[in-house]
Amino acid sequence: MKLKIICTSTASLNEEFIQENNIDIVSLNVLIDNSSYKDGEISLDEVMDKFYAGSKVSSSQPSPLEFIEAFNKAKEEGFTDILCFTISSTLSGTYNSASLAKQEVSGINIHLVDTLSASIGEEILIHRAVDYLKNNSLEDTLSYIERLKSNAVILLNMDNLTALKMSGRITRIKAAIGNLIRVKPILEYIGGKLSVITKFRTENAVYDYIVNRIGTEISKTKNKIIVYLGHVKSAERIVRLKEIIEEKFNNIKVHLSGNITPVVAINIGYGGYGIAWTFE
pLDDT along the chain (280 residues), means of 10: 96 93 97 92 88 87 98 98 97 96 98 96 97 97 97 85 54 45 77 81 90 92 92 92 96 88 84 91
9 and 116 fall within a common domain:
yes
Provide the pLDDT for residue 203.
Answer: 87
Provide the pLDDT for residue 64.
Answer: 98
109 and 124 fall within a common domain:
yes
Provide the pLDDT for residue 28.
Answer: 96
CATH of the domain at 135: 3.40.50.10440
Inside any domain, residue 200: yes
185 and 272 fall within a common domain:
yes
Provide the pLDDT for residue 258.
Answer: 75
Q: Rounded to whole angstroms, how far apart are CA atoms 206 and 112?
A: 35
188 and 82 fall within a common domain:
no
Domain boundary among the residues 101, 121, 149 is at 149
Provide the pLDDT for residue 65.
Answer: 98
Give how many domains the chain has, as a whole number: 2
Provide the pLDDT for residue 175.
Answer: 44
Q: Helix (H, G, I), strand (E, B), or coil: what is residue 16?
A: helix
The pTM of the full predicted model, rounded to 2 decimals, is 0.90
Q: Rounded to whole angstroms, how far apart are CA atoms 96 and 182?
A: 38
Inside any domain, residue 36: no
Provide the pLDDT for residue 183.
Answer: 66
Provide the pLDDT for residue 162.
Answer: 59
Inside any domain, residue 37: no
Q: Rounded to whole angstroms, how far apart are CA atoms 23 and 90?
A: 24
Inside any domain, residue 34: no
Residue-range definition of the domain harbouring residue 195: 153-279
Nearest to residue 199, comparing CAs of 140, 231, 227, 159?
159
Domain boundary among the residues 101, 133, 149 is at 149
Domain boundary among the residues 149, 166, 181 is at 149
138 and 169 fall within a common domain:
no
Provide the pLDDT for residue 176.
Answer: 42
213 and 228 fall within a common domain:
yes
102 and 171 fall within a common domain:
no
103 and 200 fall within a common domain:
no
How does 69-80 read in b/e, with b if 16+ C-beta sit within 10 Å?
bbbeebbeeebe
Provide the pLDDT for residue 48.
Answer: 85
173 and 86 fall within a common domain:
no
172 and 205 fall within a common domain:
yes
